[in-house]
Amino acid sequence: MEKIKIGFIGLGNMGGGMSLNIARAGYEMVVHDIDREAATPLLELGAEWAETPKQLAESVDVIFTSLPGPPEVTSVSTGVDGLIEGVSKDSIWIDLSTSSPTLIRELSKKFEDHGATVLDAPVSGGVKGAQTGKLAIMVGGNESIFNQVKPILDSFGDKVSYTGSIGSGSICKLMHNTIGYGMQMIISECLTLGVKAGVKPEELVECIKNGSVGRGNLLNVTLPDTYLQGKFDPPNFALKLARKDVSLALELGREYDVPMEAASHAYNELTAAMNRGWENKDSRISLLLQEERAGNIEVRVDNS
């Protein structure tokens, strides 16, 4: 894979940084963007310019796209002068966009009819991560093709994960982002309440950063030791104590007229779990209620 030619479409905030890191790793490149000026840094490094996605696909072995979303992915891949018109047998298309899992699965089948392979590989780490090569890359598709192109992915990402069949990378990225935005909601509730109740923002944020939440214990320690193992006894922190804490926070919110929608939902979940007779179990047992609502889906991770 060392002497292959790489095409890159979408040279914006994310794609610009990723493509430059690929070029700096020594790969020969062909690039395209709706704004030719965005390609200037790459052209100065010796990259070639392609007038259309089709032209780019005709001249490279591996194609990367970094686009805003499903409409752009569809247009670039199967629109007029799209990638599908230029790919050949053994072509590999890797879509780095945060897009629809269903769409990439449909497109993968169409590209297979032309002998090409598709991987979905959305990234996380922001613009700075794209510039510095500090990105998480979540890759779905054929595993042998993933192993073949991994050295290229390593040139712009420091945490590259194979996630399973086509579309699974996009699923992981969507779940990751939605967790982040959900966390933002309850963080904003607690920060506004804390400040209104009399704590300075600097001190409040510092305390949260220094505590279990700020240290990342939930995903790295607590959930792996309890919920992800299906182990709730003996409790790490009892359900009845967790509900007491959230109840006190909601009482404070009422006192200071601060709406606490996300916290109220958490309280309702803990209360429903209490009504199952789980008060002395680990508080994470309340998460089983969502498993039931999802159709008795069990989320368990083997740590052996």
The token pair at 183 is 């966390």
Per the CB < 8 A criterion, the answer to whether 32 and 90 are in contact is no
| Whole-number Cα distances in Å, 138 to 87, 162, 171 | 24, 6, 9
Task: Please answer whether residues 63 and 56 qualify as being in contact, where contact means their C-beta atoms are separated by less than 8 angstroms.
Answer: yes
Q: Which residues contact 112 (CB under 8 A, 6 or more apart)?
A: 118
Q: Is 94 exposed, middle or buried (0-12, 13-18, 19+ CB in 10 A)?
A: buried
Q: Which residues pair with 32 in a beta bridge?
A: 9
Long-range pairs for 285-294: beta carbons < 8 A, 24 or more residues apart: 285/226, 285/227, 285/232, 285/239, 286/239, 286/242, 287/227
Instruction: Name residue 117's beta-bridge partners.
Output: 92
165 within 8 A of 141, measured Cβ to Cβ: yes
Beta bridge partners of 124: 136
Enter the tokens of residue 97: 């966009």
Is there a catalytic annotation at residue 209? no
Q: Give the number of other Cβ atoms within 10 Å of residue 303's Cβ.
A: 8
Marked catalytic residue, from 109, 134, 173, 209: 173
Q: Residue 77 is encoded by which pair of tokens? A: 């891949």
3-state secondary structure of 133: coil
* Positions marked catalytic: 173
